[in-house]
């Protein structure tokens, strides 16, 4: 599955990208395996058809998601940083994965371009608190529309910054805290009711 990568190591490449654009990358190291498992383990991935990942970076969540998803599932990874997208394309060879250079705010257009109508789950690696003003709300609005009824928006952050943005847009928000990360990671699962009306209903 994995082929050669261009960068000397994922961690060094990630750090280089942080120094290029600290506000957009938002962290000096990729997310720890404790936070990844903490966010993904509670979900039953059986039968999940379409997942979107925002801000995959060097792909620590992407690889774990692909191990969990079935053979017919699709994973769409969207990152504004074209170097991260190139990195993913060069390092993960999996026909279920589509990588797109673009903003999470354009998730609906990106899905439509791939012939997909909605996502069962959207996973965010975005540094919401340091994104340019207005972008975070645009991403929240587009995500709430793009998620299939019964699905959820999964977020990991180092603060509760996103909570007031999730509350008006989702039906139920579960929260968790992973102490084994430095600093501790806050996890959010923002659910859309299964009987929620979809925009095209
Ligand atoms: C904290 S890094 C997370 C990387 C990786 N998911 C991880 O957990 O290690 C944030 C990522 O979000 C990307 N990003 C920032 N703003 C974005 C946006 N509006 N749409 C898509 N990706 C964005 C950055 O380029 C970077 O790859």
Task: Note down pLDDT in tens along the chain; length 201 residues.
Answer: 443 445 458 888 888 888 888 888 778 778 889 999 999 999 999 999 999 999 999 999 999 999 999 999 999 999 999 999 999 999 999 999 999 999 999 999 999 999 999 999 999 989 998 888 799 999 999 999 999 999 999 999 989 999 999 999 999 999 999 988 778 899 999 999 998 766 554
Minimum-distance ligand 1 atom for the alpha carbon of 36: 8
Cα(79) to centroid(ligand 1), Å: 6
Percent of all residues in the chain with a pLDDT value above 90, rounded to a whole number: 74
Cα(125) to centroid(ligand 1), Å: 5
List pocket residues of ligand 1, CB cut-off 6 Å. 24-27, 30-31, 54-57, 60-61, 78-81, 84, 103-104, 125-127, 131, 135
Supply the CATH classification number for the domain 10-191.
3.40.50.150
Candidates 79, 107, 124, 138: which one to mutate for ligand 1, based on the most atoms within 8 Å of Cβ?
Answer: 79
Cα(126) to centroid(ligand 1), Å: 5
pTM: 0.91
Using CA atoms in the order 54, 59, 63, 64, what is the torsion angle rounded to 10 degrees? -60
Cα(179) to centroid(ligand 1), Å: 22
Longest CA span, the chain? 49
Cα(25) to centroid(ligand 1), Å: 5
Using CA atoms in the order 135, 141, 145, 146, what is the torsion angle rounded to 10 degrees? 20
Cα(201) to centroid(ligand 1), Å: 32
Q: Which two tokens stand for residue 60?
A: 């620590």
Q: Whose CA is nearest to atom 14 of ligand 1?
A: 55
Cα 23 to chain centroid distance, Å, stands at: 17
SS3 per-residue string spanning 64-94: HHHHHCCCCCEEEEEECCHHHHHHHHHHCCC
Give the H/E segment covering residue 19: helix 10-20
pLDDT for 117 equals: 95
Residue labelled with tokens 């792909």:
59
pLDDT for 114 equals: 98
Candidates 126, 138, 143: which one to mutate for ligand 1, based on the most atoms within 8 Å of Cβ?
Answer: 126
Cα(124) to centroid(ligand 1), Å: 8
pLDDT in tens, 133-186: 799 999 999 999 999 999 999 999 989 999 999 999 999 999 999 988 778 899
Please state, as a whole number, how many other Cβ atoms lie within 10 Å of the Cβ of residue 70.
11
Domain ranges of the chain: 10-191
């Amino acid at each position: 599955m994995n082929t050669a990568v261009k960068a000397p190591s994922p961690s060094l490449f990630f750090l280089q990208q942080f120094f290029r654009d600290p506000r957009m990358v938002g962290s000096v190291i990729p997310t720890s395996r404790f936070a990844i498992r903490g966010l993904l383990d509670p979900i039953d991935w059986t039968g999940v058809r379409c997942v979107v990942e925002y801000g995959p970076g060097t792909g620590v969540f992407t690889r774990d998601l692909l191990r969990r998803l079935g053979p017919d599932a699709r994973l769409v990874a969207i990152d504004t940083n074209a170097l991260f997208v190139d990195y993913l394309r060069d390092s993960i060879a999996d026909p279920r994965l589509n990588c797109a250079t673009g903003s999470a705010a354009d998730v609906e257009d990106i899905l439509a371009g791939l012939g997909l109508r909605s996502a069962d789950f959207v996973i965010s690696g975005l540094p919401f608190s340091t994104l340019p003003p207005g972008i975070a709300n645009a991403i929240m609005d587009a995500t709430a529309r793009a998620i299939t009824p019964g699905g959820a928006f999964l977020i990991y952050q180092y603060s509760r910054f996103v909570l007031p943005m999730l509350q008006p847009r989702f039906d139920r928000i579960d929260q968790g805290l992973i102490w084994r990360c430095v600093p501790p990671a806050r996890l959010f699962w923002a659910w859309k009711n299964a009987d929620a009306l979809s925009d095209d209903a």
